[in-house]
Chain A
Amino acid sequence: MEAGVISRGGGSGIPKRSPRARLADPAFRWALTAMALGLVALIVYFFILLIVKAEPTLSHVGVLSFAFSNNWDFGGEIFKAWPLLVGTLVTSALALLIGVPIAIATALFISELCPRRMRIPLTVLVDLTAAVPSVVFGLWGFFFLAPKLQGTAQWIADRLSFIPIIGGGHAAGPSYFVAGLVLAIMILPIVSAISREVIATVPLDHKEAALALGATRWEMIRMAVLPYSRAGIAGASMLGLGRAIGEAIAVSYVIGGNATLIHHIVEQGDSLAATIARSFNEANANQRGALIACGLLLFVLTLVVNFVARYFVARSTRALRAPPAAEPVASGAV
């Protein structure tokens, strides 16, 4: 029988960690910090590398002339990318015009109108559309959508021939119009998913107040839901725009590959990303330089669009954060 008295004096009865064990915490923290900051460094390096490699082309052609002069002759090595830039902007604008209203309507229907038990199946189905790979959309657009739409496109073009660019021309299978439509289909689920999240942050009080005052469901949507979530929906659309601008594979199938400045929307054209996807592998050094410069232009364009988008989304979701949604990772499409 030992006395077994362990000295309780000396201040701390709590066993101290060994020096080695105490090192584990800072080491863990520094490892995580290294990865987070490494990520930032990588993106900065990425940007610099793109600029350096695009520099020969840009200084040869001139930055402004590269972006805003109209003469793209890939084989003849004349690189003035205005027709491609316009192609990118036209198809993306079309995608927004067609896709965003439907996306918002879908988001409103799913979160405000549809029966509760249909909500999850509908959400899953819309999100599945976002999961279809772009190459499959390209394949489908080229073999199914473009031929099917040729007649309709020609009919519309004839009716609207008094409007420049939008009307007139000879409908080709692949065209700006078909590319815009495919892009609309591709961005719809993304815009819809983010809009749904934004709509979920509308306080229940606002909606109940509107209904209590005798508003119909639609009036409640128009007067309580939409004003509150307007900025967020604008941001969601901008994120969709960013996606549309950068989409290469699907567009390269359905836009035709004719790099002249747009005459009519139903005719063949080209876009920045589609050109890169189509010609990069067979290009010589000069052509590659030009395509890298196109990539840089694309990068800057999406950077600006996303910057504006994040600002809108952040402003509308930060203001009055609702309690966490029931399904935590419903935002997978983002």
Chain B
Amino acid sequence: MSARSLTLTSARRRRTDVVARWVLAVATVLALVPLVLVVYYVVNKGASAWNTQFFTKDPTGNSTGFGDEGGLKSAILGTIEIVAIASAIAIPIGIAVALWLTEYHRGGWLGNVVRYFIDVMTGVPAIVFGIFVYLLLVIGQPPASAYAGWKGAIALALLMLPIVARSAEVVLLLVPESLREAALALGAPRWKVIMRIVLPAALPGLLTGSLLAIARAAGETAPLLFTIAVTSGTTFDPGQRMNSLPTQIFNNLNSSSDPGLISRAWGGALVLLAMIFVLNIFARLVSRRSPAIR
């Protein structure tokens, strides 16, 4: 009864509302179209390239017309090893920098300077990191050891560092202050509070941030292009030139229009995409079961 006596929203306003809602919904669907198309296309083209040779043989450097083109074994293993080394460098340092920011320098100009530089680092294009490591480590070295897997790993680590540090800072700030105070009141020294209380409490969040950084690094081509060079053979020695999935795909597509090589590149893209999606989904599952932070 009383609702009747209120003035109803005019038809024009209701129409605008409905139209606006539909526009936003359609735009959201539109935003998801590329993902669906990319995944569909990569699976479609890539799955047919997967065979036993794809996973067990190195690229031979041949085009299809001139013999066996080989598989992508060295690229897959190389990507895993390079990203593992990069993670071993970037994750501890990134978390350490985040700890320094949250535990010792929450405010203050020095903390803000470091925070600002991390932001700068986040904005640096991946390819510029590639140039940097090239200038720092590759140029002027004896040709035999100029390009090496570990140099690519350093370039990737530079890319990962700000991502790890930023996400770790956010997570560490969420650890309740009362936990730290309780531990300090019991007489624990600061470093023990950090190692035994703060880090374990923040662990799931730290893990999520690190996994997302790893996923990001695994797909990057640009920092590797000028640092690990091009090679075909499998090696586990990071002092050697190494192959990696992104650079292999990039070079296959750039150097030829051979259908066999391009098909293999699609296969590689599918492996890369699968690896990265698994990492991403895993990262999100970890973050959901985070005990300290509710």
**A331 and B170 within 8 A (CB):** yes
Contact B161 A39, beta carbon cutoff 8 Å: yes
Residues of chain A with a CB closer than 8 A to B250's CB: 135, 138, 249, 277
Chain A residues positioned under 8 Å from B144 (CB to CB): none
Chain A residues with CB under 8 A of B291: none
Whether, in the assembled complex, A113 has its beta carbon less than 8 Å from a beta carbon of chain B, the answer is yes
Contact B280 A125 (CB under 8 A): no
Assembled-state Cα–Cα distance A166/B120 (Å) = 33
- Which of A17-25, A62-70, A199-207 has 4 or more CB atoms under 8 Å from chain B? A17-25
A32 to B198, CA, bound (A): 15
Q: Is A61's beta carbon under 8 Å from chain B?
A: no
Q: In the complex, which of the residues A106, A122, A132, A278 has the most CB atoms of chain B within 10 Å of its own CB atom?
A: A132
Is B287 a contact partner of A329 (Cβ separation < 8 A)?
Answer: yes
Contacting residues, chain A, for B82 (C-beta < 8 A): none
What B residues does A11 contact at CB under 8 A?
none
Instruction: Say yes or no: is B30 at the interface (Cβ < 8 Å to chain A).
Output: yes
Within 8 A of B (CB), among A122-173: 122, 124-129, 131-140, 142-144
- Ordered by A's residue number, 22 sampled pairs between the chains whose C-beta atoms are within 8 Å are A17-B189, A32-B99, A39-B114, A49-B135, A101-B27, A102-B27, A125-B32, A128-B280, A129-B31, A133-B220, A133-B269, A192-B31, A216-B9, A216-B13, A218-B20, A248-B126, A248-B127, A249-B127, A278-B254, A280-B226, A302-B125, A334-B163
Which residues in B have some Cβ–Cβ distance to A below 8 Å?
9, 13-14, 16-17, 20-21, 23-25, 27-28, 30-32, 34-35, 37-38, 41-42, 45, 93, 96-97, 99-101, 103-105, 113-114, 117-128, 131-132, 134-136, 161, 163, 166-167, 170-171, 174, 187, 189-191, 194, 205, 208-209, 212, 215-216, 218-222, 225-226, 229-230, 246, 249-250, 253-254, 262, 265-266, 269, 272-273, 276-277, 280-281, 283-284, 287-288, 290, 293
Among all A-B residue pairs, the 8 with the closest Cβ atoms: A246-B125, A133-B219, A105-B27, A306-B123, A28-B191, A216-B17, A218-B20, A32-B100
